């Protein structure tokens, strides 16, 4: 979702 | 996932593989800072606690497991492996890494996205990762002869950070996230720490001489 943009990174 | 992010992850993965290869093939960890490796292990455990609660993709999950287990394996080798542990430069790897852990924790308590256990762990891992290379850089500076693999390990780690910055710039323009200042600032600090190393690595490559960092 757009409110969690960076935590899809490592 | 954009190309910069993927290249960042791949150079990060290569750096770990290079280090494992060096330790496995030479049965030696000379020039490798155990303190930096311990910090990375703490970083990965703190950040990837979401492994079982938030599923993003198979790619993400596999990479998280790889980073946790590889850092644990490296620390284990340096502490317990009968041959490898004897090659550890204990007397030169003297950086007070507990100070970095404490400072990162205090920073995470003050600056976080939400005052929850998970968000504090996440911010803590971001801050700690930014400075985790310091013991390794100090050790490189102290060792007169930096072997090629150790140099390449740090080079790949630095490249990983540079690619992540490009990834954020790309995402900023394509997705427009402006409020993510915690990873931005920490990431810039982290990449800046490599600038000096990049410079001397480039010089040694250009002049075809062994890498040596000035004291």
The reported pLDDT for the residue numbered A7 is 87
Per-residue pLDDT band for B211 (boundaries 50, 70, 90) equals: confident
The reported pLDDT for the residue numbered B147 is 86
- Taking a C-beta distance cutoff of 8 angstroms, is the pair B112, B119 a contact? yes
Helix intervals (H) in B48-112 = 58-80, 97-110
What phi and psi values does residue B95 have, to the nearest 5 degrees? -60, 135
Task: Give the tokens for residue B131.
Answer: 């400075």
**Range scoring the smallest mean pLDDT among B8-17, B79-88, B99-108, B188-197:** B188-197
The reported pLDDT for the residue numbered B17 is 95
Q: How far is A2 from chain B (nearest CA, A)?
A: 9
Size of interface A-B (CB pairs under 8 A): 25
**Range scoring the smallest mean pLDDT among B6-15, B50-59, B175-184:** B175-184
Nearest by CB: B175 against A5, A7, A10: A5
Contact A8 B60 (CB under 8 A): yes
Query: What is the ipTM score, two decimals?
Result: 0.81
Q: In chain A, where do the E strands start and end?
A: none
The reported pLDDT for the residue numbered A2 is 43
**Which residue of B7, B60, B63, B67 to mutate against A (max A Cβ within 10 Å)?**
B60
* Cα B57 to chain centroid, rounded: 22
CA distances B131 to B21, B121, B138, Å, are 24, 16, 12
Helix intervals (H) in chain B = 3-26, 34-47, 58-80, 97-110, 117-131, 134-142, 148-174, 181-206
Residues from B contacting A (CB-CB < 8 Å) are: 5, 9, 12, 50, 54, 56-57, 60, 63-64, 67, 122, 164, 167, 171, 175, 177, 180, 183
Alpha-carbon distance of B121 to B26, in angstroms, equals 36
Per-residue pLDDT band for B178 (boundaries 50, 70, 90) equals: low
- Residues B121-173 have pLDDT tens digits of 999 999 999 999 999 999 998 987 788 889 999 999 999 999 999 999 999 89
């Amino acid at each position: 979702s757009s409110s969690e943009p960076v935590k899809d990174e490592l | 996932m954009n190309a910069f992010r993927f290249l960042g992850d791949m150079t990060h993965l290569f750096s770990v593989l290079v280090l494992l290869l060096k330790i496995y093939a030479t049965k030696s960890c000379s020039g490798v800072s155990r303190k930096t490796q311990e910090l990375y292990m703490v970083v990965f455990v703190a950040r990837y606690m979401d492994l079982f609660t938030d599923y993003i993709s198979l790619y993400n999950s596999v990479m998280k497991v790889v980073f946790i287990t590889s850092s644990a394996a490296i620390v284990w080798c340096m502490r317990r492996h009968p041959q490898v542990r004897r090659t550890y430069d204990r007397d030169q790897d003297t950086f007070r890494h507990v100070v970095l852990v404490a400072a990162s924790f205090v920073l995470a308590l003050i600056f976080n996205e939400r005052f929850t256990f998970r968000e504090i762990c996440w911010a803590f891992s971001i801050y700690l990762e930014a400075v985790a290379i310091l013991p390794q850089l100090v050790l490189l500076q102290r060792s007169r002869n930096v072997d090629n693999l150790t140099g390449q390990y740090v080079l790949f780690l630095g490249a990983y950070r540079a690619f992540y910055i490009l990834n954020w710039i790309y995402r900023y323009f394509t997705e427009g996230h402006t409020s993510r200042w915690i990873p931005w600032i920490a990431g810039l600090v982290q990449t800046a720490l490599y600038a000096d190393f990049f410079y001397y690595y480039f010089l040694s490559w250009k002049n075809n001489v062994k890498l040596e960092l000035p004291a």
